[in-house]
Structure 1
Amino acid sequence: MIENRPGTTFIAHAVLLLGVLAVGFPVYLAFIASTQTSAEIVQNVPMSMLPGQHMIDTYRLALFGGETSYGSRIPPAGRMLWVSFVTAMVIAVGKIAISMLSAFAVVYFRFPFRGLVFWMIFITLMLPVEVRILPTYKVVADLNLLNTYTGLTLPLIASATATFLFRQFFLTVPDELAEAARIDGAGPLRFFKDVLLPLSKTSMAALFVIQFIYGWNQYLWPLLMTTSEDMYPVVMGIKRMFAGGDAANEWNVIMATAILAMIPPALVVVLMQKWFVKGLVDTEK
Structure 2
Amino acid sequence: MKALVGAREQRDIERLVSKILRDLGNPEPPLHLDQVRDVLALDLKYYSTTDVGPLAEIAHRIKVAGKQLVARPGLMLDVLKKAKLSGLWLPDDRRIFIDQELPPAKHRWIEAHEITHSVVPWHKEFLLGDDELTLDPSCHAMIEAEANFGAGRLIFFGDRFARDALDCDPTFKSIKRLQGNYGNTLTSTFWRFVEDRDPEIASFGLISQHPHHADIGQGPGGEPVHRFVASAGFLARFPHIGSMDVYSLVRRNASWRRKGPVVDGIDILTDATGSAVKFALDGFCNSYQVLTYGRCI
Band the TM-score falls in, shorter-chain normalisation: under 0.3
Q: Which has the higher contact order (CA 8 A, sep 6+)?
A: 1
The TM-score with structure 1 as length reference comes to: 0.26
Larger radius of gyration: 1
The TM-score with structure 2 as length reference comes to: 0.25
